[in-house]
Amino acid sequence: MVDRGADRGMVIVGAGECGARAAVALRENGYAGPVTLIGNEPHLPYERPPLSKQAMVSETEPQPKTIASAEVLRDKQVDCRTGTNVTAINRASKHVRLSEGTSLPYDKLLLATGAVARTLKMPGADGPRVATLRTYDDALRIRAALRPDVKLAVIGGGFIGLELAASARKRGAAVTVIEALPRILSRAVPEDLAEVIAGRHRAEGVELRCGSGVDAIRDTGSAVEVTLTGGEVVSANLLVIGIGAVAVTGLAEAAGLRVENGIAVDEKLRTSDPEIFAAGDCCSFPLMIYGGRRVRLESWRNAQDQGNLAARNMLGREEAISTLPWFWTDQYDLVLQIAGLTDAGTATVRRDLGDGAFILFHIDAAGRLVAASGIGRGNVVARDIRLAEMLIAKRATPDAAALADAGVKLKSLLAA
C-alpha cells in the first residue's frame, strides 16, 4: 500500500532535536505541503541533554522535556509518527518503506537519524547489570538504580560519563569512572580544563581510574565485576558504558548514499542524492572556515542549527553551513564551554577571569584565532566564549597579549 496525496511532501526520518526542529522550521519558512516526522521511539520529540543531568537528580520521576508538544505539532500540521521505523529508501520512486508495511512518498527527504550509544564488543557487556545512556527509557532505568547504597561504575571519561557521575554523586551513589586514556576528556577538552573537572570530581568522592583498559566484565549474580588491564577488579551494582556514540547510517548505506564518518553531505546538507538531505548527529559535513575539513558533531546546538538549515535548503534556499562548533557541559557547579575546533590550533593563550575561571584561546600557525575553551562557575565564561566565537567567524588575528589581559574587553578586539 502506498500513501499518496496531492503533494508528495517532505519526509523527515528521525524525531530528535534536529528532525523536530526541521519539521517546525518548514512551516515557519512558509511550506504548506505535507510534513511527516517519523521517530522510532514511542515518545514525542524530546531533549537529550537533560537525561544525564536533571532527569537523574529531580525529586520526582522526570517526564521527557518535549521539543514540540502534541499541540504544537497539531497546530503546525506535522504528522508525527512515533514508534515507527523506516526500513528502506527507494530513491528511484522517491518512497520510504515503513515498518508497518506501508510506503510514503516524498519530494525531499531529510535523514536526521542521530546516533546510538557505542557498545563494548566483549563477553558480559550486554549483561543485566550493564546499561548505556542515550534515550529517555535508558535514563529511567539508570535513575532507578541510583541510591546511597549503590555502587556505580562508568566506563568512559567523556562528557556523558562524567555528567552521569556527577548526577549519581548528588543522589548519594558511590562512583568509579574508568578511562582507558591517560586522562579524562582526552578527545574533546584541553588538559588544563580537564584537570579542573577531574579535581572537582575527586573532591566529590568520585574515583577516577585513568589509563586503565577493561580486560573482562563478569556478572556474579549479585553484582557486575570489571577487571582492569592492571588486574584491579571494580565491583558495582550497575555498570554504565559511556564510550561515545555511533552515527546511524544503515538506512543511508542500504540506499547507496555516500557515508564517511556519518552520512556525507555537502556544505548545504545535501547527500550524494540531491533530493535527500542529512543533518545533526548522523552526518559529516565540511567546515569551510577550517579549510573544508569534514567533521561530525554531536551537540544540541548543532542539531538545532542544522535542523533549521536543512529545512530552508529543502525549500531551495541554497544556504551554506555558517555556524561554528559549540559544546558545553555542566559538572556540578562548573560549566565548560568550547567554541570552534581546539585541535586546529598550534598554541594557546590563557586569560584568567578570577575565582579559578579561565579561558584558553587557541591560535593557529598564522596567528588566527580558531577556538576558545573556558571553564568557571555558572555563566562566568559564557559572554567571552560568545565573543570569541564571533572573532573566530571573522577569521581574526588578535594580539596575544590583548587576549591574555582580562582588562582588555574582547568586544573591543571584535570592533578592531
164 neighbors 142 (Cβ within 8 angstroms): yes
pLDDT in single tens digits along all 416 residues of the chain: 334 344 789 999 999 999 999 999 999 999 999 999 999 999 999 999 999 999 999 988 889 999 999 999 999 999 999 999 999 999 999 999 999 999 999 999 999 999 999 999 999 999 999 999 999 999 999 999 999 999 999 999 999 999 999 999 999 999 999 999 999 999 889 999 999 999 999 999 999 999 999 999 999 999 999 999 999 999 999 999 999 999 999 999 999 999 999 999 999 999 999 999 999 999 999 999 999 999 999 999 999 999 999 999 999 999 999 989 999 999 999 999 999 999 999 999 999 999 999 999 999 999 999 999 999 999 999 999 999 999 999 999 999 999 999 999 999 998 88
Q: How many residues does the chain have?
A: 416
- The topology under which CATH files domain 130-243 is FAD/NAD(P)-binding domain (3.50.50)
Q: Hey, what amino acid is at 116?
A: V
Q: Answer yes or no: CATH 3.30.390.30 is held by domain 333-415.
A: yes
User: Taking the domains of the chain in order of start, what are their residue ranges?
Assistant: 10-116+246-314, 130-243, 333-415
Q: Give me the residues paired with residue 402 across strands.
A: none
Strand, helix or coil for residue 289: helix
For residue 63, give the nearest of 44, 82, 83 by alpha carbon.
Answer: 44
| E-state strands within 140-213 | 151-155, 174-179, 207-210
- 62/145 Cα distance (integer angstroms): 15
356 neighbors 376 (Cβ within 8 angstroms): yes
Written as nine digits, the cell of 96 is 520510504
337 neighbors 385 (Cβ within 8 angstroms): yes
Q: Which residues contact 399 (CB under 8 A, 6 or more apart)?
A: 413
Q: Hey, what amino acid is at 411?
A: K
The secondary structure of the chain in percent helix, strand, coil, rounded to multiples of 5, reads 25, 30, 45
Tell me which H or E stretch contains 312.
helix 300-314
Looking up cell 576558545 gives: 372
Tell me which H or E stretch contains 166.
helix 159-170
Position 415 scores a pLDDT of: 86
* Number of C-beta neighbours around residue 121 at 10 A: 7
Written as nine digits, the cell of 55 is 532527569
Architecture in CATH for domain 10-116+246-314: 3-Layer(bba) Sandwich (3.50)
Written as nine digits, the cell of 354 is 578570577
Domains 130-243 and 333-415 share a fold: no
> Alpha helices, DSSP H only, in 88-158?
136-145
pTM reported for the whole predicted model = 0.94
* Number of C-beta neighbours around residue 301 at 10 A: 15
310 neighbors 319 (Cβ within 8 angstroms): no
